[in-house]
């Protein structure tokens, strides 16, 4: 082939790549970022002979004021009639979003629940190069803008949701006794698991460990203590994924193969079920998802 032919071929190839990239960006920003989905998974963690429990896991709403479609979809989740709700943080992006998050969660706040917080419940996000996530986890700003976290937690507490911020708690749900333990956001290094460490309650029907970001140190410690189910968010499922290959990053030290969904977490001779939610939102400065639609998950907990 002549040099002219090679040049034309190269130009055509570059044009096709550019067009494909533009099309993927348009899909991710125009459609997929609002294509909310409910995942349903079955987890064998209850004692033999027990009836199922339905746990709704919501995470990473990253609510921006005016996102009516997201608010309506989250509100509709109450129709599932879950027995228990767990919120793993990053609910807001600004002070203006707090009333809208509480409006969206209002029907779920009438149910038994528990929560932990994420970095974006404490501090407002800032513009940054999203490509930086590909080679290292994001870092906290030196001078962050504080958010009205108390408005959010006061409403959760008033509804009876259990605050698991470096804390332990208990819930009675459908006649079952649940043992709960949680940590503050490990991504901000606010986790203090040693303050709440200890064996899972052997008298409980189920013990659950809760964290916003699924860092190995937290998952290892909770598994060692015998908590049978671990739930977390933070990863956004990778947010931008390669079809058939999966997430490019988890924004923490969790393996990319575990960026979302249900997995077994092994620590020595012990193991736990781990569910990582891909979440429902994005940073307002990178409002794109690709091959990773926003989600909430209904976990059907069944007898082992």
Which pLDDT does position 143 carry in this prediction? 75
pTM, rounded to two decimals:
0.89
Helix (H, G, I), strand (E, B) or coil at 119: helix
| Distance (Å, whole) CA 204 – CA 200 | 8
- Residue recorded with tokens 């140190």: 217
Return the DSSP state at 16.
Answer: H
Which pLDDT does position 131 carry in this prediction? 60
Would you mind telling me the total number of residues written for the chain in this entry?
304
CATH topology of domain 31-303: Purple Acid Phosphatase; chain A, domain 2 (3.60.21)
**Cβ-contact 136, 105 below 8 angstroms:** no
Q: Which residues pair with 40 in a beta bridge?
A: 298
Query: How is the chain split into domains, by residue range?
Result: 31-303
| Distance (Å, whole) CA 236 – CA 294 | 8
| Distance (Å, whole) CA 19 – CA 181 | 48
Which pLDDT does position 118 carry in this prediction? 98
Which pLDDT does position 142 carry in this prediction? 67
Which pLDDT does position 239 carry in this prediction? 93
Helix (H, G, I), strand (E, B) or coil at 300: strand
For 84, list phi and psi in degrees, rounded to 5: -155, 145
Which pLDDT does position 14 carry in this prediction? 40
**Cβ-contact 50, 176 below 8 angstroms:** yes
**pLDDT tens, per residue, the chain with 304 residues:** 555 554 554 444 444 334 334 344 444 455 899 999 999 999 999 999 999 999 999 999 999 999 999 999 999 999 999 999 999 999 999 999 999 999 999 999 999 999 999 999 999 998 876 666 556 677 666 678 999 999 999 999 999 999 999 999 999 999 999 999 999 999 999 999 999 999 999 999 999 999 999 999 999 999 999 999 999 999 999 998 999 889 999 999 999 999 999 999 999 999 999 999 999 999 999 899 999 999 999 999 999 9
């Amino acid at each position: 082939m002549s040099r002219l032919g090679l040049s034309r071929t190269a130009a055509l190839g570059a044009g096709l790549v550019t067009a494909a990239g533009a099309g993927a960006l348009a899909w991710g920003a125009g459609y997929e970022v609002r294509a909310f989905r409910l995942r349903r998974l079955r987890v064998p963690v209850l004692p033999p002979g027990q009836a199922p429990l339905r746990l709704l896991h919501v995470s990473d709403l990253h609510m921006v004021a005016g996102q009516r479609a997201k608010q309506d979809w989250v509100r509709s989740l109450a129709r599932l009639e879950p027995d228990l709700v767990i919120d793993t943080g990053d609910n807001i992006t600004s002070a203006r979003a707090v009333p809208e998050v509480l409006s969206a969660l209002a029907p779920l706040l009438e149910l038994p629940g528990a929560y932990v917080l994420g970095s974006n419940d404490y501090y407002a996000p800032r513009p940054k190069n999203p490509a930086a996530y590909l080679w290292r986890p994001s870092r906290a700003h030196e001078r962050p803008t504080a958010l009205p976290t108390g408005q959010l937690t006061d409403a959760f507490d008033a509804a009876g949701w259990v605050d698991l911020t470096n804390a332990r708690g208990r819930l009675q749900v459908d006649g079952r006794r649940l043992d709960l333990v949680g940590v503050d956001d490990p991504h901000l290094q606010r986790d203090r698991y040693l303050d709440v460490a200890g064996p899972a309650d052997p008298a409980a029907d189920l013990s659950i460990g809760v964290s916003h970001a699924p860092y190995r140190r937290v998952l290892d410690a909770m598994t060692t203590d015998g908590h049978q189910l671990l739930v977390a968010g933070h990863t956004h499922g990778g947010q931008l994924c390669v079809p058939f290959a999966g997430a490019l990053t988890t924004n923490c030290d969790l393996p990319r193969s575990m960026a979302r969904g249900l997995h077994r977490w092994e620590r020595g001779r012990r193991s736990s079920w781990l569910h990582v939610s891909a979440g429902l939102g994005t940073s307002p400065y990178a409002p794109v998802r690709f091959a990773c639609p926003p989600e909430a998950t209904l976990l059907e907990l069944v007898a082992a």
